[in-house]
Amino acid sequence: MVRESEYLVFTKNLVKRFGDVVALKGVNFRVGYNEVVGLVGDNGAGKSTLAKILAGIYVPDEGEIYVKGQRFRRLTPQKARELGIELVHQERTLAEDHPIWRNIFMGREITGPLGFLRIKEMKAAAEKLLNEIGLKAIPPDTPVKFLSGGYKQGVQIARAVQFEADLVILDEPTIQLSISEVHRVLEYVHGLKKRGKSCVFITHNIYHVYPVADRFVIIDRGKIVAEFRKVDVTPEDLTHILVSIARTGTIPEKYEKINLLNVAGSN
């Protein structure tokens, strides 16, 4: 029997409908403490929907969410943040004309009496943070529009780190990035893991997530169809499995043995 409290985040039978479309059809998803989970699947499989439910942006129609053992029917964005869940959106959530430090504190400014900004404090915190996640030598005063795609992603991750998130959900963080920039994002994820944080890395590119993930969860048409430990599979295996799912809707026989969904007691 799985105990919900063993996991940082645990969902039971999540269902989400958009009109007639059922985006999630009873999803049981879990993330351990200090674990990096690769959530992979084709476009429209329900990856982002799941992420948005965990971040409190969408309200599930059915099911439950356990965070650190606490049970919830639904989360709000504020509640999710209080619980330490930060979503780094697929869409750029940056104000391009404004400096890095303002972007990091966007919506959660450090303020003094009467709501006046503590600018010095925020700049200093931003500078420290940029150093920590490897964005050294970039002055926090730099407007975000002058950063490359990878650095922009870095600023969004820095934002999550600043607010001491325990779980950072990265929704397609490597989309539209050059090879060296993808590498940079992977380094940020390594950094999160080193700091004892957990991470859900959403992508449809196995090769981007493979180097950093501990476990892979494959979602297809609103259902989780397979889970593998990294030690059991190679990137080629995973590609093979994804192609098979896309073509036939099934997993090749030989992988069923190592599919954690079939291993007793793991789910």
Partner 1 sequence: MVSESRGNIVFNVLTTLWTRYRLQTTVFTIFCGLWLIFYAISPSSFARPFTYTAILSVAPFTIIPALSLTYVIITGEMDLSFPSIMALGAWVLTVTWHAFGPTPLGLILALLAGLMAGFINGVLVTKCHIPSLIATIGTMFVWRGFVLIATGGFSISIGMWRGTPIYQALVGRFGGIPIQIVWAVVIAVILWIFLNLHKFGAHVYYTGDNRVAAQMLGINTDRVIITVFMIHGMLSAFAGVLVALEMGSFWPALGEIYLLESIAAVVVGGTPITGGTGTIFGTFIGGLILKWIETGILAVGVTGFWIKLVYGLVIIIALIAQVIIRKREIRRMKIIGA
Neighbours of 252 (CB within 10 A): 13
Binding track over 38-77 against partner 1, x by CB under 8 A: -------------------x-------------------x
Tokens of 175: 């989309």
Q: What type of residue sits at position 56? A: G
State yes or no: residue 82 binds partner 1 (CB under 8 A).
Answer: no
* Pairing between β-strand 215-220 and β-strand 36-40 as defined by DSSP bridges: parallel
Residues 173, 176, 178, 182: what is their CA dihedral angle, to the nearest 10 degrees? 10
Q: Are the C-beta atoms of 181 and 149 separated by less than 8 Å?
A: yes
State yes or no: residue 113 binds partner 1 (CB under 8 A).
Answer: no
Q: How far is the CB of 235 from partner 1 (least distance, A)?
A: 26
CA distance 219 to 21: 16
Q: Are the C-beta atoms of 169 and 88 separated by less than 8 Å?
A: yes
Q: Under rule CB under 8 A, which residues in 127-146 are in contact with partner 1?
A: 138, 142, 145-146
State yes or no: residue 95 binds partner 1 (CB under 8 A).
Answer: yes
- Judged by CB under 8 A, which of 19, 21, 107, 257 binds partner 1? 107
Q: How far is the CB of 85 from partner 1 (least distance, A)?
A: 13
Per CB under 8 A, residues contacting partner 1 are 57, 77-78, 81, 89, 91-98, 102, 106-109, 111, 114-117, 119, 138, 142, 145-148, 150-151, 178, 181, 184
